[in-house]
Amino acid sequence: MSLTDREKEQLKAMIDAGEPIPPKYRAVLFADPHEAELIWPGKTSEVTSVVLPFQSIEQIDEPRAEMNSNLGLFDFDAATGRQAGGWTNKLIWGDNKLVLASLKNGPLREEIEKAGGLKLVYIDPPFDIGADFSVDINIGEDTLTKEPSVIEELAYRDTWGRGAESYLTMIYERLLLIRGLMSPNGSVYVHVGPNIAYYVRALLEEVFGGKRPTTDICWKRVTAHGDSKRWGVVHDVIFWKALSEDFAWNPAFEPYSEGYVDDKYSNVTTDGRRYTLSDMSSPNPRPNMMYEWRGHKPPRLGWRYELETMERLFAEGRIELAKKEGGRPRLKRFLDEMPGIPLGSVWTDIHPVNSQAHEDTSYDTQKPEALLNRIVSASSNEGDLIADFFCGSGTTLAVAEKLGRKWIGCDLGRFAIHTSRKRLIGVQRELKAATKAYRSFEILNLGKYERQYFVGIDPTLPEKERRALSIQKEEHYLTLILNAYKAERAFQSPPFHGRKAGSLVLVGPIDAPVTQSQVHEAIVAAQKLKVSRVDVLGFEFEMGLVPHAQDEARAKGVSLALRYIPKDVFDRRAVEKGQVVFYDVAFVEIHPAVKGQTVIVTLKDFGVYYRQDDVEALVASMKNGGSKVTVDKGQVVKVTKDKSGVVKREVLTKSWQDWIDYWAVDFDFTSRAETIRVVETDAKGETHERSVRTGNFIFENEWQSFRTRQDRTLELKTAPHDYPKKGKYKIAVKVIDIFGNDTTKVVEVTI
């Protein structure tokens, strides 16, 4: 150790005082220092090791109940009409930090390794461009801008709130988790803006090793534009990093038109004699001549061929002689072994998604499929498993499905997951129409376990200890929810937990749905207390609760409001700023028509009670001659202020159908019970895995209709569904509104 006595004394003093060791000493003190390291305030190499169980909430097998609808499925089971085995693709809604940790350390890790391991990861984290997660939604001929959810807005603020420092903290932990999850012969692509690229480059060197194969790809995404004070920024940077020398590689080529004999070699001296290009057309070409053949387009990359190759090409008729005297011979078609000019690290031939493009989903940051097609094709092979943990509108996943890859996608935004679901079903339909194979996919989340984690309950504890801890944390949990709801705590009115503006408030459990019996108890208690208004808050509600609970309450003189608790409540800043919005549970009415052993389900009604802006404040902020589309009292309205300041309010949602973006049907809802794999730690500190029945059922999507940007029509009646035998069945209908929120209704039919 080459340290002076004074340096040793200084280091000892710093350690005794609990101060961090200066970076300059690390290479001396530690045997295996990083080849490159980036330092910023608050940096830590510690990553979360939490393991939260994944809950499967939906299974999709390109499910239209039509003739030959499943011919394209891998491992197709003719008896059930579903995928019989093998890897099922995964679309996960949640914080990617918790998702990555749970994939890396939990039971799904084994499933990933059985699928060959994670061979390719592409991530496109939020750029520092003021992105706000807002999405434009078409309502008739007008457009409603869906405001970002609080949790999305805060996630972006966490990423860029302190500039590069907070961004690096976010991306560093994700890269460390990704590294621990990947196959040894995999590779990573990280897509960033040029303003942060030099930092990310250093992080990749640190996390994956500086000696690993690396390329900095420059993607020209927009046309050059002028700037009076600086060079116009027209590109993004995509870093490619392989984890070893043994990585998948399928080179890409830039097309060109024809090859030709370069002027440089039109006159060649060999053995002291000079031969001209015209010698090629003679009956007996001279021996030992060498020519260079090139493509027209830059970069000019050449190959030399011996005379025997030239003779073969001439004999095959692939060399076209000049028609005019003095002209150059041309190669009619370039060599099979070199289909084009090998593509370099500067990509200028892929353009951003056009607003008129079929693939456009209205996401401002959506990347073109051509870009991901090039990446996925180059760095993976058919059947490989790839992932995108910032999947947005699902471009990576759609491309992976088309190219026959397995995939995992993850995003924090509920609307992003919904957009991806529609897009992927569309891909399944395209592949089925072309009689090509495709896989089913499932939608997962971390559900109640994520909520327990947020309030400080370790989900890996044995159930008995976890329940005891839940009781200890109950008061903290209730205070958290009531503060977010702007209600005060009440202790003298059981079963109610709070009071708000004349309403009694009941808070549902953190890890279970609000049940019919709980709501009934609240209605009866409100009658006894002579209170006319009750608000019930819950993360989930028992299916079938609406509208029966409201009907019961109305009959007993009680006004009942059922409202969802959003995940935003777990962010203290959102609560402090009063940004948390509790949405009312929507109302769905369906009608199943049974004839023999066939059923057709019709969607009859749907109601929501959303509000996005304070209309009075919105009008006050508007300039004369302006207009804004917003949501008020369950209606999408267009507020217009003319040049004289006169305000008009036009309702755009003319029908309940205008609120629906997607609906799907499971014709035998209780046929597949949900089972999750839980990792628990015992008193000795040893971990064990066990399977647990949750009491819920997986929604198996068997038919669906949805709107796309190009096609706004919506079917309100399913195709006929035939049951294999007589009996009682439960039909579940899932409706997703234009904001991406879902509501499920279950009815029973007798066949």
CATH number, domain 455-576? 3.40.1340
User: For residue 498, what are the contacts with CB-CB under 8 A and spacing of at least 6?
Assistant: 478, 482, 485, 487, 488, 489, 490, 504, 505, 507
55-252+344-450 folds as: Rossmann fold (3.40.50)
DSSP string, 174-226: HHHHHHHHEEEEEEEEEEE-TTTHHHHHHHHHHHH-TTS-EEEEEEE-S----
Cα Rg for the chain, rounded, in angstroms? 31
Residue 424 backbone phi and psi in degrees, to 5? -70, -35
Among the listed residues 418, 374, 378, 428, the one whose alpha carbon sits nearest the alpha carbon of residue 398: 428
Amino acid at residue number 661: D
Assess contact for 244 and 183: CB atoms under 8 A. no
pLDDT digit string (tens) for 149-185? 544 554 444 444 455 777 888 899 999 999 999 999 9
At 83 the pLDDT is 78
Separation between Cα atoms, residue 296 and residue 259, nearest integer Å: 6
Q: What sign results for the dihedral spanned by CA atoms 722, 723, 728, 732?
A: negative
Check residue 43 and give its pLDDT: 83
d(CA 634, CA 656): 10
Pairing of strands 118-123, 385-388: parallel
Q: List helix spans (H) across 455-505.
A: 463-484
Q: Are 208 and 243 in contact (CB under 8 A)?
A: yes
Q: CATH assignment of 587-667+702-750? A: 2.60.40.10
- The two tokens of residue 403 are 């190219």
Residue corresponding to tokens 């990576």: 396
* Phi, psi dihedral angles at 9 (to 5 degrees): -65, -40
- Under 8 Å between Cβ of 448 and 570: no
Query: What are the structural domain ranges in the chain?
Result: 1-33, 55-252+344-450, 254-342, 455-576, 587-667+702-750
Q: Give per-residue burial for 445-475: e unless 16+ CB within 10 Å, then b.
A: bbbbbbbbbbbebebbbeeebbeebbeebee
Positive or negative: CA dihedral 133, 134, 140, 141: negative
Predicted local confidence at residue 368, as pLDDT? 94
| Rounded Cα–Cα distance for residues 395 and 357 (Å) | 13
Nearest CA to 402 out of 421, 376, 365, 420 is that of 376
Query: What pTM did the predictor assign?
Result: 0.79
Sign of CA dihedral 625, 629, 632, 637: positive
pLDDT at 636: 80
Residues in the chain, pLDDT under 50: 1, 67-68, 70, 129-132, 150-151, 154-161, 257-306, 333-337
Measured CA to CA in angstroms, residue 265 lies from 132, 270, 275, 289, 294 at distances of 58, 12, 10, 10, 11
Contact 128, 167 (CB under 8 A): yes
C-alpha span between 376 and 374 (Å, rounded): 6
Burial class (CB in 10 A: 0-12, 13-18, 19+), 636: buried
The one-character DSSP state at 443 is E
| DSSP run (H or E) holding 308 | helix 307-315
DSSP 243: S
